Structure 1
């Protein structure tokens, strides 16, 4: 094999492609391209989509990974792409290491999930693969939950809360479309939006008034004092959402100039208006979790930012403990360890269905965070199967 051809078969670290990813380099620019089997929704047949939806119908919780593209700063400093998606399920991470003699080598990590979305997948692609069974579940009287987990700057808020194409607005379109049907004429839609900041709950639709998580006589979690607004259209829902989003706590960190420092929870509740007291018929909850990395890794020196990070990671650790307890079928699940796990209780018990979207950066500079995120999500995936 001549030297030119040999060079084309090596990745950015000089390792042969054939040893790991199964993908091939582009002849023109030596960049990764996907094989024909690694396309997304636009190339999936209706039969395949139906089979995937049927699979989701049988799962109470499923986990997906979404890789974002390299951002402008990463491209500017010439970061390498170190994350590859294979067969829409497997995430392969190339971690560069040094031997004792300072020789470079690649440590390969592989994780398999229900779905894995590459950097060219849109929010619509993610929703088309994961949202259908959730919408159906809500209109069958259940509770559905979408939540995003990942490093600050990995695309959580863009995926979940983007005003134009976030998962919440794509789901809202389907909800109001279904409400046009005569059989659902008894349903009214109510919206609420709150955040968890420093272990406290604040109503984003009522001047950030402090509210409280309580359990009723049926051990169902209720948010006492939380305001609700009846909503009659997608545009009205969007207007309500924007008002709340503008009140959410954000700040500049070493990782992201506009980092969410709170967990944001947006609820769409379906109520039966044909009955007295408007009982809840179904509920869809959208959760944008705050970033998961350590303050030391972000080069943060501000005391408030450090305290925020500590509280964020404490709540995420509590979430992991709840998942572990559910996996081990423990008699006691520690939902009261944090406000986050307390309000998420209904997403894991009873008539519930949950989808976790794990967002990751492809940058070689973020390998440690990416691996930590994938390990967290992988344990979650294993625990719930």
Structure 2
């Protein structure tokens, strides 16, 4: 038997040094004829171990540089490299030397995930404990935490001053104010999130049947949404500023603030407050006046020879008062050409911005206000400030800008002062707001019936809703606290309904049912209001007479007191005329009794009418 010695190398891992060394493997194969063994180097000779049909000898010592076999015509093969798969990892046969098993990897990954989960739970518990410690007296801390977690996953992109202004016939915006001192003392939670420049999220706190607390997140979309960091200048740029140019081109512009009492309507329209003082220059009233006079001197409009005048009046229920003329009562009439005229309204010619500011300041002090649960000095009337453009020497109106600060929209739901006066005010306010919404809807539908007779407010603003050049901007203002979430949602739904209509490209494609419902609603509102008009006008007229008689009694009492004091002093002097004294005193008492009797009869009649209505 002749044996042929073959040389092979393998790589053996040295655990001590962490290096790879080549080892020589000797294999022998049997041949058919006996022959002498092929001589090899002495350094490679080892006793062979039989394994099947082949024998292999492995040196126990590493060979850094193995010698070449004698009579070998080819160099020894290089040590083989460990094959790799597509991902670059080694085969399972070689991974036992330098890689962990798949099972070990899974065990380590499970342990790692478990540690991370435990750490995350510990962090959440620590944050929760810290929040409980900081807000231990706040019953709404759980809602605050849920809102904080919700906001952590949002990508905030608020409105910036450099964003472009989009001009629409009807623009609907929402402004959120920060929490005020009263809300912070009550530890209210901010439930309004302005995520982008036109999107708003309301986190409405809810309770399940098992008293588990959760949030109902409601999303709204408008033309612009202003967060608590936006000042009046930014709000003006995107709302009323684009409308100023309209009145110089023969159009009618309307901008009104709508929202709950205390949501910031007067702050937005009139100007920012510093203590009890209001800066009328940075409100929308003053900012519009500045731009009007800028355009008035512009070469494009200077040749028109326009004159600027202003008026300021309020609508309280069915009554209209002139705020620039000691709150004199005004009458709203419609002439034969269906043009609505406010009879007796004072119009002041203004030549500079300071004149407008003076009129705004004077009228704001005269405005009717009262106390509600939301605001100690709540406006109970709709204030309308108008800037009118006319050509010199002409009564024809070339353009008109109506700026309206609406009364609070929750007056009917103010349960803290649920007396008769509050209910009457709330009914009048909500009725006028409903009529205003119907008119805006009709404006958005172009050609639809305009129910402007629904209230005094829409009747006065009738010309602002007619014509292709009429443009309207609505600023809905909301309070961020969780106590006001119901009122804020009502405000947003009101504004959303307006935006929903004008967002439709083709209003004629609406379903027939929706059109019928909208027309029926308009007719129903119009008929009910006209049917109730005479009775309400009677009460409004009687209310005015009662107020006048009350004022007359006060003035007469002051006069009677002065005359009675003078008469008494004269009687203390020596030689006074007793006949004159008695006659004068008798006539004074008779006149006093007559005035008070007349006032009493009017008050009694007014009470009977009110009792009959309820």
Question: How far did 1:191 drift?
Answer: 0.6
Q: Is the 8 A contact 2:263 2:477 kept in 1?
A: yes
Report the CA distance between 1:331 and its aligned residue.
Answer: 5.0
Q: How much has 1:347 moved relative to structure 2?
A: 2.4
- 1:76 is matched with which residue? 185
Deviations 1:147-196 (A, max 9, x none): 00000000011101222311110111111122223443311110100000
Give the equivalent residue in structure 1 for 2:3. none
> Can you list the C-alpha shifts for 1:109-149, whole angstroms capped at 9, x where unaligned?
11100000001110101011223320111121211111000
Note if contact 1:66-1:118 (Cα within 8 Å) is conserved in structure 2.
yes
The 8 Å contact of residues 143 and 213 in structure 2, kept in 1 or not, is answered as no
Taking the aligned partners of 1:337 and 1:348, their CA distance within structure 2 comes to 14
Tell me if the contact between 1:138 and 1:283 (Cα under 8 Å) persists in the aligned partners: yes
- Quote the residue 1:378 is aligned against: 496
Which runs of no fewer than 5 residues in structure 1 stay unpaired? Answer: 25-34
Gaps of 5+ in 2: 1-116, 132-141, 272-279, 504-614
Aligned equivalent of 2:158, options 14, 38, 47? 38
Higher Rg: 2
Shift of 1:81: 0.4
Candidates 237, 253, 271, aligned match of 2:390: 271
Specify whether residues 280 and 123 from structure 1 end up closer, same or farther in structure 2 by C-alpha distance, changes over 3 A only. Answer: same
Q: Hey, what does 1:181 align to over in structure 2?
A: 298
Q: Which whole-Å CA distance do the structure 1 matches of 2:245 and 2:399 have between them?
A: 10
* 1:352 and 2:444 correspond: no
User: What is the CA–CA distance in structure 2 between the aligned matches of 1:150 and 1:83, rounded to whole Å?
Assistant: 15
Secondary structure of the 1:210 match is strand
Deviation (angstroms), 1:266: 0.2
Deviation at 1:313, TM superposition (A): 1.1
Q: Does the residue aligned with 1:153 lie in a helix, a strand or coil?
A: coil
Q: 1:352 to 1:296 in 2, by over 3 A?
A: closer
- Other-structure match for 1:312: 429
Q: Which residue among 157, 162, 166 is the counterpart of 2:266?
A: 157
Q: 1:284 aligns with which of 390, 401, 407?
A: 401
CA distance in 1, matches of 2:448, 2:194: 38
- Scaled by the length of structure 2, the TM-score of the pair is 0.56
CA contact (8 A) 1:253 1:298 kept: no
- 2:312 corresponds in structure 1 to 193
- 2:172 aligns to what? 63
The answer to whether the 8 Å contact 1:21/1:84 transfers is no
Aligned residue for 1:79, secondary structure, equals coil
SS of 1:15's equivalent? helix
Q: 1:235 to 1:85 in 2, by over 3 A?
A: same
Q: 1:324 to 1:21 in 2, by over 3 A?
A: farther
1:133 aligns with 2:133: no
Match of 2:154 among 18, 23, 30: 23
TM-score (normalised: structure 1): 0.87
- C-alpha RMSD of matched pairs (Å): 2.3
Offset of residue 74 of structure 1: 0.4
Structure whose residues are more often strand by fraction: 1
Does the 8 A contact of 1:254 with 1:299 survive in 2? Answer: yes
Partner of residue 255, structure 1: 374
Structure number with higher relative contact order (C-alpha < 8 Å, ≥ 6 residues apart): 1
1:85-106 per-residue CA deviation (whole Å, 9 max, x = no partner) reads 1211111000111111111111
Q: Does 1:220 align with 2:351?
A: no
Note if contact 1:148-1:287 (Cα within 8 Å) is conserved in structure 2.
Answer: yes
- Separation in 2, partners of 1:382, 1:222: 32
- Whole-angstrom distance in 2 between the partners of 1:329 and 1:372: 26
What secondary structure, in the 3-state scheme, does the structure 1 residue paired with 2:362 have?
helix
Q: CA deviation at 1:243?
A: 1.3
Distance 2:387 2:123 in 1: 56
**CA–CA distance in 2 between the matches of 1:345 and 1:226?**
16
Is 1:365 aligned to 2:483, yes or no?
yes
Equivalent residues, number = 361
Aligned partners of 1:22 and 1:167: how far apart in 2? 35
Classify the secondary structure of the residue corresponding to 2:375. Answer: coil
CA change 1:230–1:4 in 2 (3 A) is: farther
Q: CA deviation at 1:22?
A: 4.5
Partners of 1:326 and 1:353 lie apart in 2 by: 9
- Counting only pairs closer than 5 Å after superposition, residues 199-210 of structure 1 correspond to structure 2 as 199-210=318-329
Question: Deviation string for 1:245-296 (max 9, x for gaps)?
Answer: 11110011122100000000000001111xx524222111100000001444
Question: For the residues of structure 2 that align with 1:327 and 1:237, how far apart are their CA atoms?
Answer: 32
Equivalence for 1:30? none
CA-to-aligned-CA distance 1:9-56 (integer Å, 9 cap, x gap): 9984443767578537xxxxxxxxxx3x32521xx2xxx42xx2xx31
